[in-house]
Amino acid sequence: MRRILRNVLIIAILIAGCILLTGCASNNTDEVVSEETKVLRVGMECAYAPYNWAQADNSNGAVPIAGSNEFAYGYDVMMAKYLAEKMGYTLEVHQIDWDSLPVALQSNKIDCVIAGQSITAERLQTVDFTTPYYYASIVGLTNNSSNYASATGVADLKGATCTSQINTVWYDVCLPQIENANILPAMETAPQMLVSLNSGKTDLIVTDMPTAMAATKVYPEMKILDFTNSQDNFKVSEEEINIGISVKKGNSELLNSLNTALSTLTTDDFERMMNDAITVQPLSN
């Protein structure tokens, strides 16, 4: 009888121990889940000042580039940091070639692209875009010594040798509007097209106002050709000058979160952040 009672007591103790251990395991699991950090993987060129660039240190608030010893900064990084904090994410920047950004998004290598992309109908066929996080007017850029430095409209650019960046509205839409233009192959990056202009290989390039403003800081001999208030401006749609954040098609949860965070900013905030980026941009990007 004593043996039976002893066995019953042992079994009861074992059951209680299992319950206790199970409860502890459950609590630990909940603790791990609650402490899990959400990461926002953002793709950008890190070679497109003042939107984004790479630098050697974390000065001015630059963030590490994943898989690299360098750091990323610029308007896009400022924006990514702000949005990630608002959404409760940890920011992770990935440096990806401009032409490969949509592929990286589709293959889930990154969660979104913040890289100065225009919200075009063509891009909307394969990705979803947030509301604009910048509004960028399109301008020409030439050298002060150029025959085109006094141009007051697109017609005055007739016969110019020109280029711009690959897969942009600047190259695909604007350059063909210049009569008898000698359009050279598109450049892979914004710095390359600026070097082309600075070296005299081209008479002019077409870009957006922030890029042009940043360029004149690095190359004081360059001149911005802004036809915005002219009757002879580059003809583009609103969608082609609205800059947005792209996410994978159908990722409505992330899209809505980004839009909610963006709604806390104004166009004045956009301009202030862009001016700050132009002020601190490095000369090499």
- 22 found inside a domain: no
pLDDT of 160 reads: 98
For residues 177 and 206, the answer to whether their CB atoms sit within 8 Å is no
**Which CATH number belongs to the domain containing residue 229 in this structure?**
3.40.190.10
Say if residue 74 is in the same domain as residue 149: no
pLDDT of 202 reads: 97
Both tokens assigned to 76? 């896009």
Span of 17-21, 166-170, 215-219, 236-240 with lowest mean pLDDT: 17-21
- 32 found inside a domain: no
- 21 found inside a domain: no
Cβ neighbors of 137 (< 8 A, separation 6 or more) are: 208, 209, 226, 228, 241
- 5 found inside a domain: no
Say if residue 119 is in the same domain as residue 246: yes
Q: What is the pLDDT of residues 71-87, one digit of tens each?
A: 999 999 999 999 999 99
Instruction: Check residues 3 and 237 and name the one with the higher pLDDT.
Output: 237
pLDDT bucket at 19, cuts 50 / 70 / 90: very low
What is the Cα–Cα distance from 138 to 117, expressed in whole angstroms? 13
Alpha helices (H) in 41-189, listed in sequence order: 75-87, 101-106, 121-124, 169
Task: Give the count of beta carbons closer than 10 Å to the beta carbon of residue 199.
Answer: 8
Alpha helices (H) in 72-208, listed in sequence order: 75-87, 101-106, 121-124, 169, 190-198
- 34 found inside a domain: no
Say if residue 129 is in the same domain as residue 248: yes
pLDDT bucket at 1, cuts 50 / 70 / 90: very low
Q: What is the pLDDT of residues 150-196, one digit of tens each?
A: 999 999 999 999 999 998 999 999 999 999 999 999 999 888 999 99
Say if residue 66 is in the same domain as residue 154: no
For residues 137 and 169, the answer to whether their CB atoms sit within 8 Å is no
pLDDT of 194 reads: 94
pLDDT of 284 reads: 54
pLDDT above 70: percentage of residues in the chain: 86
Which structural domain, as residue segments, surrounds residue 152?
A: 138-237
Element (H, E) at 11: helix 2-35
**CB-count exposure of residue 107 (10 Å: 0-12, 13-18, 19+):** exposed
- 216 found inside a domain: yes
Say if residue 253 is in the same domain as residue 187: no
Supply the pTM of this predicted model.
0.76
pLDDT bucket at 70, cuts 50 / 70 / 90: very high
38-59 mean pLDDT? 95
Say if residue 245 is in the same domain as residue 270: yes
Q: What is the pLDDT of residues 98-149, one digit of tens each?
A: 999 999 999 999 999 999 998 988 899 999 999 999 998 999 999 999 999 9
Q: How far is CA 25 from CA 11, 15, 16, 18, 250, in A?
A: 21, 15, 14, 10, 36
Number of domains forming the structure of the chain: 2
Say if residue 142 is in the same domain as residue 216: yes
Say if residue 83 is in the same domain as residue 209: no
pLDDT bucket at 240, cuts 50 / 70 / 90: confident
Whether 50 has a pLDDT exceeding 80, the answer reads yes
